[in-house]
Amino acid sequence: MKSRIATALMLASAGPLASQAAAPSTTPPAEQQIAAAVLSLPPSLRADASVLGYGADGKMVSLRKGSGGMICLANNPQGEQFHVACYHESMEPFMARGRSLRASGVTGGQVDSVRFREIKEGKLSLPTNPAALYQLFGGTFDPVKNEVTGARALYVVYIPQATGASTGLAEKPTGSLPWIMWPGTPKAHIMFTPGM
């Protein structure tokens, strides 16, 4: 389970990549991308979220500029599974840097190695307060009903550098209890089980 969670978080920080350009004929209309992208958010946050998705040429574009402090990533039409994610705008420098590195050919753990180094050097900023991320992955999006069926939800709150000792949370999953993943790193975050 921990590896599936790590993969889902990697997908969120990867986001849509310019190098994963979709064929123009497979790129859904902007309205459909926006409708799907915001579904991982609580309903009260959806209308004001910014959304990044794909243009007719398959390249990443801003589909909607919001005012609510959340940024959502539309499903990649060329992805292997449905995946949308929304995170607090304070995480954007970290997330955008990950997308940029992957688009330039940096892969795997090297993406975090570069980002962690840049954070240490003061070149890349992280949030100073807790920052939420919501995801849906897998399943199928029905654009007519504007709903996803069969997707798994993942909810986290980033608290960079936090540890079990600084939060009182376990550093490994224990049933349905919240826990802290990547403790003591810039990617430290509290994992929550959907339905809590």
Output the pTM of the full model: 0.83
Backbone Cα Rg of the chain: 16
Over residues 156-178, mean pLDDT: 94
> Mind listing the pLDDT tens digit for each residue in 29-63?
999 999 999 999 999 999 999 999 998 887 899 99
User: And the tokens for 63?
Assistant: 């589909």
Ranges of each domain in the chain: 2-155
Residue 77's identity, in one-letter code, is P
Decide: 136 and 84 in contact? Cβ < 8 Å. yes
Q: What pLDDT band is residue 3 in, cutting at 50, 70 and 90?
A: very low
The Cβ of residue 68 has, within 10 Å, a number of other Cβ atoms equal to: 15
Model pLDDT, residue 23: 41
> Mind listing the pLDDT tens digit for each residue in 132-166?
999 999 998 998 998 999 999 999 999 999 999 99
H or E segment at 83?
Answer: strand 83-88
Decide: 191 and 179 in contact? Cβ < 8 Å. yes
